[in-house]
């Protein structure tokens, strides 16, 4: 009975692994595509041929690309990303705490936004076509069209300069969890504003789609209250879509932190990525993009697998 | 004429709002030198001067008039976003129609490459490519156009596949028409409606991405007036309760909302969806 569903999931997982592999090749090859040579690019036009040759050897550019790719990939798998070009420090050391901070921010935003979006979605479906429904619809539609930094600065303007929350989220490892959470409130709220709209609208749409079906009519006719109809009868069937949307938005959260981190000077991976792009520190950018792309692909994969698993038609096959 | 008035009357209130806002932006962009009291990069006063009759919105960190830069920003930011979207559409739709028409290995190759390109988040990919090729306006335009053309490719291929299956395409092929004729005279005219509707949405996306990159200091470079980098330059003022840095950001947000309203209305109209 479960043969087909497990093979579906297995297929999807295999495809995910292939995607990850191809992405690692693309990110690695980006450097190979450089017009000219990485060593020349970094040292500039005035560099002597000797120093360029020495630098090439240091980077290992004199060896074939396939050999270097395999070495890089093996290093990445074991957590060794090589050294930064700008300051020679180990990349894994640079990223260590920052990755945790970024996940902390994304996690906190998820903790606020998911319950909020689900509640708003259910309420909007329950009171559809009322002023409440239309109001949330307009608010969420507008919030979705704003650039992240606009939302961030509005929040700073309203909440930070009046003294409620700090406008700079400079957290560090030795702070207590509460202190960290307090300083992360504004960036997390910004991310919440950005992702809640989509999740809420999809929840509402999935629920309203189901409300037309005969079994909901039946439940209503036997006198079940509207709130119970939605929560007990409609919501379980909408779960597949809702889970999918949540996972997709989590993927967006992890990527979307880049700009928000810069606004709030939050010591996360996104900030490191942006700084390194400005410095053209290609090895650090490679490592950061690989981490971001991997998280994105894995969460998308999770969304697909979960929505397959939560589909009753696939679970109860004849 | 009657048709026109009928269409005009059917435009929803939100779409009217969008049309008015977009028209104002276009006018400002065209007549920027007339509207702006000072030049785009002209240093006219002290640093961070407050709002006054002389400087409507005060001056920025170098003493340039913020109001004038805001006006010129309409030209630069919106102009570059439109150019990028047009490039993405030209490339994406041509490739989409081409792979739908030719099919076979080309279609497979294009399809799989687009899948891979779309698996990497756009902002991250753009940042990676900007590191590799260096940050400049030309690079940014080409990179974003390439990344965004994958979405256009998907749409135009899906639309073109339906058209390619039509009898009149078969007839044109039997007549011995060449590939160019098939694409430009037979297929493209028949898929313009979904492409035009998509244009608005893609424009918003590109516009926000460019603003975000400029805000990060990796997009449009100074001294060119641009809304994203203007927010970045004056952002510190916000902690002192100044609203000035919010104004360029508001200009970005307002245009995105307006274009979304128009695109939404157009989509409803062209697909016949009501309500």
Chain B hits for A150, CB-CB cut-off 8 Å, are: 231, 246, 249-250, 252-253
A314 in Cβ contact with A4 (< 8 Å): yes
Domain boundaries, chain A: 2-77, 96-279
Report which of residues A23 and A85 the model is more confident about: A23
pLDDT band at A45 (very low <50, low <70, confident <90, very high): low
In chain A, whose CA is at the least distance from the CA of B209? A147
Rounded to a whole number, what is the distance in Å from the CA of A318 to chain B's nearest CA? 33
Alpha helices in chain A (DSSP H): 3-32, 38-43, 49-59, 65-77, 91-126, 131-145, 148-155, 177-211, 214-221, 226-228, 235-263, 269-279, 282-309, 312-315
| Res B31: pLDDT | 87
List the single residue in B119, B217, B256 with the smallest CB-CB distance to A145: B256
Rounded to a whole number, what is the distance in Å from the CA of B260 to chain A's nearest CA? 8
Report which of residues A162 and A66 the model is more confident about: A66
| Res B84: pLDDT | 95
| Res B12: pLDDT | 77
In chain A, whose CA is at the least distance from the CA of B234? A153
Whether A193 contacts chain B with CB within 8 A: no
List the single residue in A157, A259, A277 with the smallest CB-CB distance to B130: A277
Whole-angstrom distance, CA of residue B252 vs CA of residue B78:
9
Chain A hits for B116, CB-CB cut-off 8 Å, are: 19, 22-23, 26
Tell me which of B12, B118, B124 to substitute to probe the interface with A (most A C-beta atoms closer than 10 Å).
B124
In chain B, whose CA is at the least distance from the CA of A279? B131
> What six digits make up the tokens of B202?
């893609």
Whether ipTM tops 0.85, in short, is: no
| Res B85: pLDDT | 95
pLDDT at residue A315 is higher than 70: no
Instruction: For residue range A243-284, list pLDDT tens digits in order.
Output: 888 888 888 887 788 888 988 888 889 889 998 888 878 888
| Res B118: pLDDT | 85
What is the rounded average pLDDT for all residues in chain B? Answer: 85
Domain boundaries, chain B: 72-271
B84 in Cβ contact with B145 (< 8 Å): yes
| Res B274: pLDDT | 42
Whole-angstrom distance, CA of residue B88 vs CA of residue A263:
29
Alpha helices in B103-166 (DSSP H): 104-119, 122-133, 137-164
Alpha helices in A212-281 (DSSP H): 214-221, 226-228, 235-263, 269-279
Q: Cβ A149–B124 below 8 Å, yes or no? A: no
pLDDT at residue A166 is higher than 80: no
Question: Which regions in chain B score pLDDT beneath 50?
Answer: 273-275
| Res B43: pLDDT | 77
Fold of B72-271: MetI-like fold (1.10.3720)
CATH of the domain spanning A96-279: 1.10.3720.10
pLDDT at residue A10 is higher than 60: yes
pLDDT band at A235 (very low <50, low <70, confident <90, very high): confident
List the single residue in A154, A161, A276 with the smallest CB-CB distance to B241: A161
| Res A1: pLDDT | 46
Whole-angstrom distance, CA of residue A183 vs CA of residue A171:
7
In chain B, whose CA is at the least distance from the CA of A253? B121
| Res B146: pLDDT | 94
Report whether the peptide linkage leading into residue B223 is cis, meaning its omega lies within 30 degrees of zero: yes
List the single residue in A156, A256, A289 with the smallest CB-CB distance to B127: A289
What is the rounded average pLDDT for all residues in chain A? Answer: 82
Whether A13 contacts chain B with CB within 8 A: no
pTM of the model: 0.85
pLDDT at residue A59 is higher than 70: no
CA A63 to chain centre: 35
């Amino acid at each position: 009975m479960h043969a087909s569903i497990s093979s579906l999931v297995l297929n999807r997982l295999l495809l995910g692994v292939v995607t990850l592999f191809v992405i690692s090749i693309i990110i690695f090859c980006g450097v190979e595509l450089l017009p000219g040579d990485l060593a020349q690019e970094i040292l500039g036009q005035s560099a002597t041929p000797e120093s360029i040759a020495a630098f090439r050897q240091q980077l290992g550019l004199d060896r074939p690309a396939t050999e270097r790719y395999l070495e890089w990939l093996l290093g990445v798998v074991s957590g060794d990303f090589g050294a930064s070009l700008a300051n020679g420090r180990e990349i894994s050391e640079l990223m260590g705490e920052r990755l945790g901070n970024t996940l902390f921010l994304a996690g906190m935003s998820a903790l606020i936004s998911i319950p909020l979006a689900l509640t708003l979605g259910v309420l909007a479906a329950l009171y559809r076509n009322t002023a409440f429904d239309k109001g949330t619809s307009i608010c969420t539609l507008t919030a979705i069209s704003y650039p992240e930094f606009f939302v961030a600065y509005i929040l700073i303007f309203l909440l930070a300069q009046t003294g409620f929350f700090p406008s700079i989220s400079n957290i560090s490892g030795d702070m207590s969890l509460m202190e960290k959470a307090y300083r992360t409130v504004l960036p997390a709220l910004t991310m919440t504003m950005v992702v809640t709209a989509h999740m809420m609208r999809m929840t509402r749409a999935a629920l309203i789609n189901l409300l037309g079906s005969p079994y909901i009519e039946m439940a209503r006719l036997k006198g079940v209250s509207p709130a119970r109809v939605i929560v007990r009868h409609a919501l379980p069937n909408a779960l597949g879509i809702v889970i999918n949307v949540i996972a997709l938005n989590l993927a967006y959260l992890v990527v979307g932190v880049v700009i928000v981190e810069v606004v709030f000077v939050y010591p996360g991976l996104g900030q490191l990525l942006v700084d390194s792009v400005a410095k053209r520190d290609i090895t650090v950018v490679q490592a950061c993009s690989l981490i971001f792309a991997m998280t994105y692909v894995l969460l998308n994969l999770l969304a697909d697998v979960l929505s397959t698993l939560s589909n009753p038609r696939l679970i109860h096959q004849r | 004429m009657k048709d026109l008035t009928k269409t005009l009357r059917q435009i929803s209130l939100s779409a009217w709002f969008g049309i008015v806002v977009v028209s104002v932006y276009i006018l400002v962009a065209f007549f920027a030198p007339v509207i702006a009291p000072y030049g785009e990069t002209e240093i006219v006063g002290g640093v961070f001067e407050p709002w006054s009759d002389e400087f409507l919105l005060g001056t920025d960190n170098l003493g340039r008039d913020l109001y004038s830069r805001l006006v010129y920003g309409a030209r630069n930011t919106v102009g570059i976003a439109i150019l990028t979207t047009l490039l993405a559409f030209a490339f994406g739709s041509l490739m989409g129609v081409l792979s739908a028409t030719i099919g076979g290995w080309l279609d497979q190759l294009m399809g799989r490459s687009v899948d891979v390109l779309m698996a990497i988040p756009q902002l991250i990919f753009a940042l990676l490519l900007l590191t590799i090729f260096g940050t400049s306006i030309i690079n940014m335009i080409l990179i974003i156009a390439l990344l965004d053309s994958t979405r256009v490719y998907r749409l135009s291929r899906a639309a073109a596949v339906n058209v390619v299956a039509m009898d009149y395409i078969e007839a044109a092929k039997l007549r011995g028409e060449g590939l160019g004729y098939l694409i430009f005279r037979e297929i493209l005219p028949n898929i313009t409606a979904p492409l035009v509707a998509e244009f608005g949405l893609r424009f918003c996306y590109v516009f926000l991405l460019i603003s975000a990159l400029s805000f990060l200091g990796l997009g449009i470079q100074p001294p060119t007036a641009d809304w994203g980098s203007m927010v970045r330059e004056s952002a510190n003022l916000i902690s002192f309760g100044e609203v000035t840095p919010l104004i360029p950001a508001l200009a970005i947000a307002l245009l995105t909302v307006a274009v979304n309203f128009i695109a939404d209305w157009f989509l409803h109209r062209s697909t016949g969806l009501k309500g």
